Structure 1
Amino acid sequence: MTSLLTGTDGRARCAWIGVDAEYARYHDEEWGVALHGDRALFEKMALEGFQAGLSWITILRKRPRFREVFHGFEPNVVAAYDDDDVERLMTDAGIIRNRAKILATIGNARLVTDMEPGELDDLMWSFAPAVGIRPRSFTDVPAITAESSEMSKTLRKRGFRFVGATTMYALMQSSGMVDDHVEGCWRAQ
């Protein structure tokens, strides 16, 4: 499998985007860009949890609706959700209707609201590794690292759910804690 694809704009990109325009936009504008803030990282954690077992493009396409029905992923608002909200979300075809993931998102929001402002950001970024070697191909990109395993373990100890080591590595990639743009990608820095 090739690690790069050249788009119609002449730019070489990580080949995982395929030919999907939304994936290309996400790759160019979001993936690997440093993301900070408790709300933003809570949203990323929730969406990565919903993605488990599915493709990321499914989540990207549903993200606007997720943001709408989860009130912008404001932790204080989501933490106050009750059984009626769970049922409302379970009937919304615009999102992933998985009760365990919905309940985890609500529970995780409650844990975030118990933290000091900025604590989630500080905690998650404390696991960002030192700048590593640029991957030459997809075979050089791990699914799990010691840092993502430790992040997962720490979050689970605090009660967070749907935060496995693979999910946390995907979060680290998407939030810029690691930069896995392969050699030759125009975004590789």
Structure 2
Amino acid sequence: MADSYRGDKRITKSKTNLKKALFELLAEKEWGKISVQDITQRANLNRTTFYQHYQDKDDLLHQNMRDMFEAMKEDIFSPLDIDCSGEKPEAYWYVLRFYQHLQQNCGDFAIIINRRYELNIKELLNDFWNDSFLTGIKKTAAADTDRSVPLDIQRRFVISAFAGTAAWWLENGMPFPPELMAESMIKMIQKN
């Protein structure tokens, strides 16, 4: 049992080092110029260790991004432990958690936002936004959804607003606190 635990810790440490190396290199070089050897050298691991966990550098990137998005969704949509009957709508607290999570992990998310076209991650981003939108609809009062506007149009509008504003916020050094971002987003979404 102890050997298994030690092995699990070693795997976790290797994957953590590979992720860290990947994001350090992304901050320095173009995606096309980063090789598996660059990543393993930066992580201080050998290529065999890399290939035990990932097929190639794209697999490393996509697995880590899926993990990042899953962690974000868990942070955003974990059960609320506040009284939502107050002055702020329930959706505010989920939006606030979104911006707080971005702020706490701004280094990696800023790299992703800045390099999103080069990294060819459109499908991953779309999956994250669509899942988050549907989860948000389920978590908040679905009865508040305007039935006169098709859900697909509402989804596109909300996703565009959140994705664009989050990208702007990160690219500009988070000029406003998460609380103001959440409050502003809720006000604008409610007006529309």
The answer to whether TM tops 0.5 is: no
TM-score, normalised to structure 2, is: 0.24
Relative to total residues, which structure has the larger helix share, 1 or 2? Answer: 2
Q: Determine which structure has more spread, i.e. the larger CA radius of gyration.
A: 2
TM-score, normalised to structure 1, is: 0.25
Higher relative contact order (CA 8 A, sep 6+): 1
